[in-house]
Amino acid sequence: MKLPPDSVISDRKLKEYLLSPRVEDDKSGFLAIAGYTPSQWYELEADLRNLIGEKDADLTRSTVYGDMYEVKGSLVGPNGKTLQVITVWIRLKVNSETRFVTLVPDKEAAK
């Protein structure tokens, strides 16, 4: 199934979590390989929206908060380099809103 094109992707999550260096669970170095930076967070948002428009989402589990989905695929960054990623999304039970949670490198696809 496809996730809704209007799924919520918080710019704060992109700028302050994924694209900013962190002591724990840092993803900024991985995303920097493809040229994603905090000042160009909107490019990552656009690429995430393209990914959910192209690829199907797989239900991975249900929680008390909602259903969790994964969308796997490629992101071609601003510098032209390709990253294989697994994106995680939740469809909230309270209002059926679909929200971006995080992404991680897809180590299996990168082999």
Please count the residues of the chain: 111
Residue 84 near residue 2, CB atoms below 8 Å: no
* Gap between the Cα atoms of 71 and 109, Å rounded: 13
Which amino acid would we find at residue 45?
E
Residue 106 near residue 88, CB atoms below 8 Å: no
* Gap between the Cα atoms of 90 and 57, Å rounded: 11
Taken in order of first residue, the domains within the chain and their CATH numbers are: 11-105 (3.10.450)
**What does the pLDDT look like over 35-93, one tens digit per residue?**
999 998 999 999 999 999 999 999 999 999 999 999 999 999 999 999 999 999 999 99
Using the predicted structure, report yes or no on whether residue 107 has a pLDDT greater than 90.
no
